[in-house]
Amino acid sequence: MSKSRLIVKLLIAQFLILAVAAITLIVTALTFAPGFFATHLGQLGEVTSQVELHTREAFFSSITLALGFATIAAVLTAGLISWLFARRVARPIEQLADAADAVARHEYVSSLPEGSFSTEFQRLNESFNRMADDLSKSEEQRRHLLSDLAHELRTPLATIKAYVDALEDGVAPTSAESWETLRQQIERMERLVSDLKEASAADENALTMVFTNVDLVEMTKRVASGFQPRCTLSEKNLQVFSQEEPTWIKGDSLRLEQVLSNLLDNACRYTPKSSEIEIHVNAVGQHAEIEVSDSGPGIPNDQLEAIFQRFYRLDPSRQFGEGGSGLGLTIARAITERHSGTLRASSPGPLGGATFTIRIPTARE
């Protein structure tokens, strides 16, 4: 069964109020007016019965006409105002319903006007617009994620398929090198799946965190020490510059090591041989900073934020496996933000290297 529109229900409610008001006015007037009239008529002194009769008829005729015209005028005027009011109230609700239907159809282009009938409607419109915008961005990210994920998995799967076919047909020998290649491709996919899971958890603020007192100076030296052999073998000079005193923060030591390891991994990968990788740990006011600087190819200024997006690569031709999973910086920034901090990149331009700065509030005593 179809239901009446809101504007019709509002008009009916207004007319019911008007009807009750009109009936109350008429009943009150007809109840009290004759008594007041008789009192005032008696104060005139002796009047003939004929004069009194004509006077009463004139009074009742006048008050009836007056009440009738007043009721009609009031109903018309109030009806027009009620219609305008009901229309103003119903319009933003209808717009909201249409916008909600559009969102349900995955159409996020329509937006509600910011100005509305009242403060409550304005807040509702603003909240709905923010929700629709967030859903639009989430849907776009989901499409990009599926596309990028399919692209990233294509290479290792194609390699595995080619090796399996070659081994099955006897084209390639069953050797340690063949099994190692297959194992590497499987490990790449495992790393991708693991990073993707962490990136999704980071988006939902679901990364497991155990906050304790962490000395950033000691943590940085420990992580750098683990990367030292790799840098030495690749003929890259890794140096740590820090103060001797501890720099304490409240944080998850393992997660912060994950962030720093990701930055050092990128630095080691893109820094050429016989070049410098520097780590600076500083206390700046009520914040602690870790700067990781490399001597790599640098980052264009218009891509300093884009590199933190999922699967983003400065070199589109670079395949998964030659670099990381394309999710490391996304996860690193999410972890840093969970520590009420920031992770920013800076670069003077091509061939000028890049610097990644972690900034986290220091622990209060």
Tens digit of pLDDT for each residue in 48-77? 667 667 676 776 777 777 777 777 777 777
pLDDT in tens, 269-299: 888 888 899 999 998 889 999 999 998 888 8
Domain 212-361 falls in which CATH fold? Answer: Heat Shock Protein 90 (3.30.565)
CA distances from 243 to 184, 195, 289 (A): 40, 33, 12
Mean pLDDT score, 144-152: 68
User: What per-residue confidence (pLDDT) applies to 317?
Assistant: 44
> What pLDDT is recorded for position 151?
66
Reduce the DSSP state of residue 225 to 3 states and report it. Answer: helix
Task: List CB contacts of 276: < 8 A, sequence separation 6 or more.
Answer: 236, 237, 239, 293, 294, 295
Class in CATH terms, 141-203: mainly alpha
Which residues 6+ apart lie within 8 Å of 2 measured at CB?
Answer: none
| pTM metric for this prediction | 0.58
Whole-angstrom distance, CA of residue 279 vs CA of residue 356: 10
Cα separation of 163 and 157, whole Å?
Answer: 10
Contacting residues for 104 by C-beta, under 8 A, at least 6 apart: none
In angstroms, the CA 236 to CA 272 distance is: 7
> Structural domain boundaries of the chain?
6-107, 141-203, 212-361
Here the tokens at position 308 are 């933190």
Least-confidence region, from 69-73, 228-232, 301-305: 69-73
- Strand order of the β-sheet with 276-284 is 237-242, 276-284, 287-293, 355-361, 342-346
Would you state the structure tokens that stand for residue 356, as one six-digit string? 């990644």
Q: How many residues does the chain have?
A: 365
Question: 36-50: per-residue pLDDT in tens?
Answer: 666 766 666 666 667
User: What is the C-alpha to C-alpha distance for residues 354 and 2, in angstroms, rounded to an integer?
Assistant: 65
How many angstroms separate the CA atoms of 52 and 56, rounded? 6
What is the per-residue pLDDT for 156? 76
Rounded to whole angstroms, the Cα distance separating 90 from 102 reads 18
Q: Give the pair of three-digit tokens for residue 35.
A: 């008594």
| CA distances for 64 relative to 77, 78, 120, 252, angstroms | 20, 21, 44, 85
Assess whether pLDDT exceeds 60 at residue 82.
yes
